[in-house]
Structure 1
Amino acid sequence: MTEANSEYDAARVIEVEGRELMRKRPSMYVGSTGVRGLHQLVYEVASRSVNEILAGGGGCVDVTLTRDGGIRIADDGPGIPFEAAGGARADDGLETLLTRPDTDTELRPDGRNTVRWSVYGIGPCAATVMSSRLTAEVRRGGVRRVQEYARGVALAAPAAAGPATDTGTTIAFWPDPDIFDTVECSFAVLARRVREVALLNRGLTLSLTDERPAGGTRSVRFRYPDGAGDFVALLDAETEWVLPEVIAFEWEDDGMAGIAEAALSWRRGGEERVRSFANSAPTPEGGTHEDGFRAGVATALTEYALRHGLLKPDDPGLGADRVGEGLTAVVSVRLDRPEYEGSTGGRLGGATVRDGVEQGVREHLGDWLDRHPERAAAIIGRITRDTAPDEG
C-alpha cells in the first residue's frame, strides 16, 4: 500500500477506536452475533437504498444472496456521490455513510419519510466494519466509480471504473465469520421483512433473490399499491370476513409531527391481531400509536351505535376489549422524531402520538361508518352479539 493510500485510510475510515469497538462488541450495534445480527446488516444497507428510492430518485431495490456467501443490494436511484457536492450536507456522501454511524436520522427535516428497518438505525457502516470485504459501486453522471473495504478499512480512494449507462448504487458485502456465528442468511426471514417493508410503503418495489440453492435460483418480488390495506388483506387471506373489504385511511397530524396510516377489518371470530410500526420498523410491544388506534376505533363505533339506536344509552359501551375480538389491523406512523420506551425500542412513546392517532381514527372510521350504514350495522351487530355479557 502506498504512502498516499495510507494517508487516505487514516483520514477516511472510522476512527480506529470506534471501528475496533464495533468489531469487539458487535451486539451493541446489531443486536446479536447470530443470524439476527447477520440479517441486521442486510437491513442497515437496504434501508439506505429504500430511502433513496422513496425520495424520488428511482423505483426498485434488489437484494441478492450470492453463491459465494455475499449479500448484494442494488437500487436504480440517482447514485449517491462518494463526496457531497458543493453546498450539500457533509454527510450526504456515500463514503461517509459507509464509514460513520448514521446517528442523526431522526433529526432530519424529512425524518417522517425515513424508513427504518429496525430500531438500531446505525446505517451501512455496520456492514463495512463487520464484513471481511465490502465493495461499493456508484453509477452517476455517465461514470461508474468503485471502492473496496476490508474489515472497515478502505483499501484505496474511490476510482473510476469505466462508463455507466444507467444510475444507481450497489453495495455488496461478505459478513465476517470471525464475528458472526453463522454467515448464512435465511431466505424465508428476509422475504417476510422485505414484503413487510413493501406493504408499509405503497408503490415501492422490492425483490429478494437467492442464488445459493443447488436446484436453481429462487426469487420473490413485491409491490403493493394499497399499502396497509393490502397488508390486512394478506393477514386475513384465508379467513371469513364480516366485511367484503378492508377499511383503510391515512392522514397527517401536525400535533404529532407525522403521518399515520391505519387499515382494519373484522373476521367472523378469533383473537385480535394488530400489527404496529413506527417509520416502518416493527413495534412488537405496541405503544401509544396502538393505544390511540384502539381507543379511536372503540369511540367511533360507540358513537355511531348510540346515534343510530344500535346501542341504548344504558348499554355497556363498545370498549377496546369488545371491538378487538376478530379484529385484524395494521397501524403505521411516520414521525419526524419517534420516541421509544425502554432499551429495546420495541414500544413507541409520545402522548401526542396517542392523541393524534385516536382523533384521526375516530374521525375517519366515523365517516366510513356514516357512508356504509349496512356494513356498520353488521360490524356492531357482530360485536354486540359475540361479546354480550353473560346474564345470571
Structure 2
Amino acid sequence: MLAARLRELAFLNRELDITLTDDRDPASHRAVRFRFPGGPRDHIAEQSAPLHLEVFGFERECPEMEGTVEVALRWCDSREERVASYANSRPTLGGGTHELGFRDGLAVAINAYAREQGLLTPSDLDFTPTQLGAGLTAIVSVKLDRPEFEGALRDRPGDGPVRTCVAEAVRDHLTNWLRADPAQATAVLTQISATTHH
C-alpha cells in the first residue's frame, strides 16, 4: 500500500526521487526506487500489450482554472478501461470535473477524427463511452492553486472552469496526435469501432 502510494507521488511529480527501504530484516535488506522523469507517460509506458508504440501525453497550463493539467494515455489490446485521476497529487476515486473534462475532450477528438477519415458517416451515431474506453489506460492529473473539493469524502474537484479547460486541452492535443500518426490512429480506431455498443 505504501509502495503503491509512493509510486503514484513519483509519477505525478517528475522532480521527485523516492527510495523506500525495508530494514526490518538485516539479512534481506531491500530498497525500491521510484523515479519517473517523464512523469505519467513513463508509468503508462510500462503497461503491456499496447496497440500503439507511442504513449500520448501532454502538460498544459490553464490560467482559467488557475492550474495545470497533465494527461498520459495509451490504448492496449484488451477491453478493460483503466482511467486514474488525481487532483493536487491526491487520487480522486469519485471522479470529478477533471475526469469529466478528459472524457469530453476524448470523445470530441476521436469522433471528429473518425468522421474526417470516413469511419463514421454523417448518419452514424458517435462512438459511445464504452467503445472509447475499450483498452484505454490513462492518467488525468490536475494541479490547482485554489482547489475546491466536493462530495462526501471531499475527494472530487468541483471547480467550474476545470471541466472546460481539461476538455479543450485533451481535444486539441489528441487531435494533433491522431493527425500526426495515421498508423497509430488507425490501430486505435479499429479497436474502438470493433467494440460492441452498450
Name the TM-score, length of structure 2 as normaliser: 0.94
Structure whose alpha-carbon radius of gyration is higher? 1
Matched residue, 1:203: 15
CA contact (8 A) 1:211 1:218 kept: yes
Is the partner of 2:130 in helix, strand or coil? Answer: helix
Higher helix proportion, which one?
A: 2
Aligned counterpart in structure 2 of residue 311 of structure 1, from 92, 102, 120: 120
Query: Cα offset for 1:214?
Result: 4.9
* Structure 1 match to 2:44: 232
2:102 counterpart SS class: helix
Cross-structure match for 2:90: 281
- Helix, strand or coil for the counterpart of 1:299? helix
Q: Which blocks of at least 5 consecutive residues in structure 2 are unaligned?
A: none
Alignment of 1:194 with 2:194, yes or no, is: no
Contact 2:128 2:197 in 1 (8 A): no
Per-residue deviation, 1:266 = 0.8
Question: Are 1:262 and 2:71 an aligned pair?
Answer: yes
Structure 1 stretches lacking a partner, 5+ long: 1-188
Q: How many residues align?
A: 198
User: What is residue 158 of structure 2 aligned with on the other side?
Assistant: 349
Offset of 1:342 from its aligned partner? 1.9
Cα deviation 1:36-88 (Å, max 9, x = unaligned): xxxxxxxxxxxxxxxxxxxxxxxxxxxxxxxxxxxxxxxxxxxxxxxxxxxxx
1:335-383 deviation digits (Å, cap 9, x = unpaired): 0111111231222212211111001000000011110112112211111
CA RMSD of aligned residues (A): 1.4
Aligned AA (1:229)? R
Contact 2:23–2:30 under 8 Å retained in 1: yes
Contact kept in structure 1, 2:76 and 2:137, CA below 8 Å: yes
Could you give the per-residue CA deviations for residues 143-166 of structure 1, whole angstroms, max 9, x where no partner exists?
Answer: xxxxxxxxxxxxxxxxxxxxxxxx
CA distance in 2 between partners of 1:272 and 1:228 (Å):
17
Cα pair 1:206 1:222 within 8 Å, conserved: yes
Q: Give the letter aligned to residue 68 of structure 2.
A: I
Alpha carbons 1:283, 1:345 under 8 Å: kept:
no
Deviation at 1:319, TM superposition (A): 3.2
Q: TM-score normalised to the size of structure 1?
A: 0.49
Higher relative contact order (CA 8 A, sep 6+): 2
Instruction: Give, in angstroms, the shift of residue 215 of structure 1.
Output: 2.8
- The CA deviation at 1:219 is 1.0
Would the aligned equivalents of 1:341 and 1:348 in 2 still touch at CA under 8 Å?
A: yes
Matched-pair identity in %:
47
**Is structure 2 residue 171 aligned with structure 1 residue 362?**
yes
Runs of 4 or more, structure 1, over 4 Å off, are none
* Structure-2 separation of matches of 1:280 and 1:352: 19
User: Is 1:336 matched up with 2:148?
Assistant: no
TM alignment of 1:121-132, pairs within 5 A: none
CA drift at 1:388: 5.1
Paired residue for 1:241, among 50, 53, 59?
Answer: 50
What is the 5 A alignment of 1:1-392?
189-234=1-46, 236=47, 239-387=48-196
Would you say the 8 A contact 2:65–2:162 is kept in 1? yes
Aligned partners of 1:299 and 1:318 also within 8 Å: no
Q: Deviations over 1:258-281 (max 9, x none)?
A: 100001111112221001111111
Does the 8 A contact of 1:297 with 1:320 survive in 2? no
1:380 alignment partner, SS class = helix
For 1:315 and 1:264, locate their aligned partners in 2 and report how far apart those are by CA, in whole Å: 26
Distance 1:278 1:203 in 2: 17
* CA distance in structure 1 between the aligned counterparts of 2:79 and 2:197, rounded to whole angstroms: 16
Q: 1:317 to 1:206 in 2, by over 3 A?
A: same
Tell me which amino acid in the other structure corresponds to 1:249.
F
